[in-house]
Each structure stands twice: as structure tokens, then as C-alpha cells.
A and B are shown apart, each in its own frame.
Chain A
Amino acid sequence: MVSVLSPDETLNTFQKAPLPPAITISGVSVSYPVGKKYRKTILEDLNLEIEEGEFVVLLGETGCGKSTLLRMILGQERPTTGDISVAGSRVERVDARSGYVPQKYSLFPDRTVLNNLTMGPETSGYHILGRLKPGFRAFRRQVREEAMKQLQHMGLQPTDAAKYPHQLSGGMQQRVAIAQALMMKSRVLLMDEAFSALDPGTRGSLQRLLRTVWTESKPTIVFVTHNTAEALFLGTRLIVLARTSHDEGCGARVALDMKLPESGMSLSRNGKEFLDLVDHIESFSRKSYEMTSPPGETI
């Protein structure tokens, strides 16, 4: 692992009390049979430990399995071998341990923005029949206030609260989606190409928003993207998944796993260093059969 941390930051890391890893991935492979002879392998022998409060960015070419990995952490899919634990216990099904922000269809179209936001806490506390309980109305009022606060924190207007998702722009929808996940106050947030469908300007403002949100409460975020610049801006740890050969039976492995500075990198701030790093990272996706250690680079 190449460390890009400054000496000061490294010191800080050691002074923090060691927390159990938020997400543990051990010996995970995913493959399925194709026809009678072949087995197509997507991921091969992954071992990762993601600490509390890390902002992990998963990079890789399309189809390299990064979304599959995210879905496995989420609980939507199961690995063929190995297991995944989140917050100490194994992941068997999708539950409220992790928050989820997909690329599209993140909001419930039949509810207003406000109802989308209050959906989580309301459902969590009172399911269908529980809504008849007496304490529900007071609880609901409370949740609504919190939702309005969250809404404004996300950069939306109070008038947006009564709108339906189809009346919002793509960027606004994703803001609400993130807020919706945050309302549950889960310690893990999983985001699957959440900004990939947005135009560059909107994407930029959402990235800044996400960064702000993260610095506030430091949840563990696993962010899947195919955009290297985005990855460098957002993440504190970068993981690149790539296949070692084009053979069907060969799955993707961790090609690169490096730490990034906490303040995030961008072209304007870091200049040439940034560009070199982007090239370096992308070479791991491209030159997939070279599994040797990356060229030692010190910045």
C-alpha cells in the first residue's frame, strides 16, 4: 500500500483509538456457470477491511465487478464463496445497517419529498399497524421537523418539500436521496455511481455537498464510480478493481489500494501531481495483466 499521507496526518491516525473495522470482506469470489463448460468469474478472492469513517472509492472499468461488490456489502447479492460482515455481523439480507443511494430510482415516486425523507424513521419506528398507535402523531411531527432541517442542509428550499420527485431535477433528486439515507443515521453509506447520471456542474456541487456531509459525522462511505477525478476529490482510500487477464475464468482482483489525503485532491489544488496520479491510477485498470507492485512514487 502506498501511503500518500503527510507525516502530520499519519501521526493523527495512530493517536486515534482502534475501532473494529466497519466492513470486512474475506475470501469473497463471485462466479456463475455459463452454459455447460465455462464458469464466468466476476470477482476473485477479495480480502478487504474498511475502517470506521473511511471514505472508500471503488474504481474500475465497466463490468469489472465494483457494483457487484457494493451490492454484496448491501446484502442484495450473495458471494459464491467467502463472506462479508458489516458492523460486526454477517450480511445475509438487506437491512437498515447500511444506507443506500443508487444512481436512479432512489426516491419513491408516489410520495412528496417530505414524505420520502420521513419514510425511514417512520417506518423504522412504526410499521403498518403501528401507525395507529397514539404516540405516532407526535413522533411524526418531530420527524418532519428534522426532515425539513435536513432538506435545507442539503441545499433545497422549504417549498421543495411538497413537490413530487418527478418535479425535481436530477441533481435535486440525488440530494434528497442522500438526505433520505442520512435520516436513518446509519454508520455505513453505500453509493452506487450516485453522480454518474448528472451533468458536470451539478456533479461538482453534489461532490462538495457529500464531502461536507462526510466531514460532519464521518460515516463509513463506499462510493462506486468510474470517474477518477471524482474519486480523487472525494475519497480517503482508493481501491481499483481489475482483471489480470481477459480470460473468462479470471475475475477481478484488487489491483490498487491506496490512501489519499483527507482534504481531497483536485486539478486546481494539486496541479500536475493530480494529473500524474490520475494517469497512474488509470494504468492499473488498463494494464490489467501486470499485477506487479506499482512504480514507487513519492509525492
Chain B
Amino acid sequence: MAFHSPFDIQARPNRLFAQALSCLLFVLCVGLYIQTSTKRHHENVEDRVVPNVHQLMGGIHASVLEPAEEDDYIAPDNASKWELFRHSMIWKDTAASGKRFLISLLFLVPAVLLALHIGLFPYFGAGFLRFVLFFDKIVALSLLPILFILFGIDEASKIALIVIGVAPTMILDVTQMVKAVPREQIVKAFTLDANNFDVAYRVIFRQIFPQVINSLRLNLKPMMLFLFAGEMIAASDGLAYRIAIMRRHMGMDVILPYVLWVAFLLYLIDLSLRVLNRRMHPWFQS
């Protein structure tokens, strides 16, 4: 077998080899982790900074089946697994964070509609676009103290942070999509006796909707980022809150499973949006 340079654009890697190659980094990382963990545990059996598999399993068990420390809930002796799970730390935190996330998503709907108007209606564009361009440049996190003053430290300020952080990007993105719709479509619609709202909602919005969903998928990570920032600074429950608390006493055995859990949740949301998009819009060629 001749030597195949990795720097060959026209290369045709063997399929099995390519699959194996894509697993390589995962294996390396896990191997490196296990090696570091074993070394540290050799020096100090109770090391908590790099938990070994046993400790991680313990951490997962604690998150999934045990309530958060500050809860009053004491499980009755014969409680079922489901009941334990229902009162567990991870359930409570996921529910709290999830609620904030979903409410912020709802607030993004008017943002998208505003963008539709900015892109189509010249008066809306004139009135709003410049301001949105400016507001987009403001680092949302720096507004957090102001948000605490305006909304208090409860849910409202965290949701406001997410919306303020992500809405300008989405508005600008959707405005771009609207402007990219060929002018001929709009003219054609008017010749078919459509009024302004017909053109906006029945012609343009329907066309760009799959792109809107794709833009939302890209913005999931920033949304999560802002949610975490808000929760780490002032909260009494939530996924990032738990991580911040655990961090205070080096509870890496709980933090690492939480991090992976959040990654998994994000993957799920992204996947479902992708599938939904494909089902709803069979005509869309990305």
C-alpha cells in the first residue's frame, strides 16, 4: 500500500478507516482522562479534582436519585425509582433551567416577526434597523447589573438576559434572509392581488421559515451561555446553579456528569429541530 498523505484533497479514504479515525480523538481524550485520574488517585486516594469512574458513577447516582441538599424531601423506604428520580437534583435543575429556556424562546417569536417587517416594510426598516445594529454591538453580559436593578434577581432578569443577548443577532439574521428573497417573488405576489400582509406572511415568511429554524439552531448555544451566566450569578435552582455550588467544594464528580447532560440536552433539541424542519418543509434545499 502506497503512502497516503493526509494533505491530499483528492484522497479517498477507506470507509472503515475514516470511521475509526473519527473515534480516535474520543479514545485519546478518555484515555488521557483515565491516565490523569489514575495517577492522581495513586498519590491521593480521595482526590476529587479528577474523579475516577467509581466516583463519577457515584456522582451520577447522587444527581439522578438523590434530592438536592437544600430540599426537605426524604424518601420513604419503599419509594420507587421513578419517585426518587422525580425528586432528584437533576430533575429539579433541568426543570428550572428548562422553564427559563422555553420562556426565552417564546420571546424570540416577536423578534423574528419584527425582523420580517424590518426586511420588507421600508418604514420599519428605517425606524428599527439602525438601532438593532447598534444594540447588537452591546455586550449583553455587561448589562446584567442593570437587568438586576430593573427586574430583580428572579426569573425575569435571567430571561431578559437571554433575550437581549440573542434577539439582536436573530433579528439581523432574519432581516438578511428576507432581503435575500428575490424581488420577483414579491412583485409576482402583488400581481396576484395580494395585500401587504399576504406578501409578508403568506409569501415571504413561509419561504424563509426553514432558514429561521436553522438560525434558531445556531443560536441555541449562545442562549444556553446566557442562561448559564445568569444562573451562576444569582439563582436558587438550575443546572448552572448546581455547577456553581458544586464548584465551591470541588464536586467534580457531579459537575462532569452535569456538563455532559447539558451537552446531551442541547444535542437533543438541535436534532428535534432539524427533524421538524425536514418534515415541515420537504421543498427546502439548504
Contact = CB atoms under 8 A, between A and B. Distances in A.
Interface of A: 74-76, 93-96, 98-100, 102, 104-106, 108-111, 119-120, 123-124, 127-128, 164-166, 180-181, 184, 186
A76 B193 CA distance: 14
A100 B188 contact: yes
B198 interface: yes
Interface residues of B, number: 26
Contacts of A105: 182, 184-185, 188
Question: At the interface, is chain A mostly helix, strand, loop or mixed?
Answer: loop
B285 interface: yes
B191 A164 contact: no
Contact of A127 (B187, B195, B209, B283): B195
Contacts of A106: 184, 188
Interface stretch (B39-47, B93-101, B200-208, B267-275): B200-208
A123 B192 contact: yes
A100 B206 contact: no
Contacts of A95: 190-191, 193
Given A94-B187, A106-B188, 10 more contacts: A74-B187, A76-B187, A93-B190, A95-B191, A96-B192, A105-B182, A108-B185, A110-B206, A124-B192, A165-B283
A100 B189 CA distance: 9
A4 B285 CA distance: 50
Contacts of B284: 109-110
B187 A104 contact: no
Interface in B137-175: none
Nearest to B285: A166
A110 B198 CA distance: 14
A100 B198 contact: no
Contacts of B187: 74, 76, 94, 100, 102
B191 A128 contact: no
A108 B206 CA distance: 10
9 contacts: A93-B190, A95-B190, A98-B191, A105-B182, A110-B206, A110-B281, A128-B197, A166-B283, A181-B191
B194 interface: yes
Contacts of A100: 184, 187-188, 191
A108 B191 contact: no
B188 A102 contact: yes
B122 interface: no
A164 B282 contact: yes
A197 B282 CA distance: 26
Question: At the interface, is chain B mostly helix, strand, loop or mixed?
Answer: helix
A181 B185 CA distance: 13
A76 B198 CA distance: 18
B202 A109 contact: no
Interface string B24-47: 000000000000000000000000
A186 B191 contact: yes
Given A110-B206, A186-B191, A127 B184 contact: no
Contact of A164 (B189, B194, B198, B283): B283
* From B182, B183, B187, B202, residue with most partner A Cβ within 10 Å: B187
A127 B197 contact: yes
B77 to A, nearest CB: 58
Contact of A120 (B193, B195, B209): B193
B191 A96 contact: yes
A184 B192 contact: yes
Instruction: Pick the 10 closest A-B CB pairs, nearest first.
Output: A96-B193, A124-B193, A120-B192, A94-B190, A105-B182, A102-B184, A105-B184, A164-B283, A100-B191, A110-B206
Nearest to A76: B187
A124 B193 CA distance: 5
Contacts of B202: 123, 128
A106 B285 CA distance: 17
A70 B285 CA distance: 31
Contacts of A94: 187, 190-191
A133 to B, nearest CB: 15
A127 to B, nearest CB: 5
A94 B202 CA distance: 17
A78 to B, nearest CB: 14
A110 B181 CA distance: 12
* From B189, B193, B202, B203, residue with most partner A Cβ within 10 Å: B193
Nearest to B185: A105
Nearest to B200: A128
A100 B183 CA distance: 12
A98 B193 CA distance: 10
A16 B113 CA distance: 54
Interface in B81-103: none
A184 B195 contact: no
A186 B179 CA distance: 28
A166 B286 CA distance: 12
Contacts of B183: 76
Contacts of B281: 110
A6 to B, nearest CB: 36
B138 to A, nearest CB: 35
A284 to B, nearest CB: 29
A184 B191 contact: yes
Nearest to B282: A164
Given A123-B194, A123-B198, A104 B184 contact: yes
A91 to B, nearest CB: 12
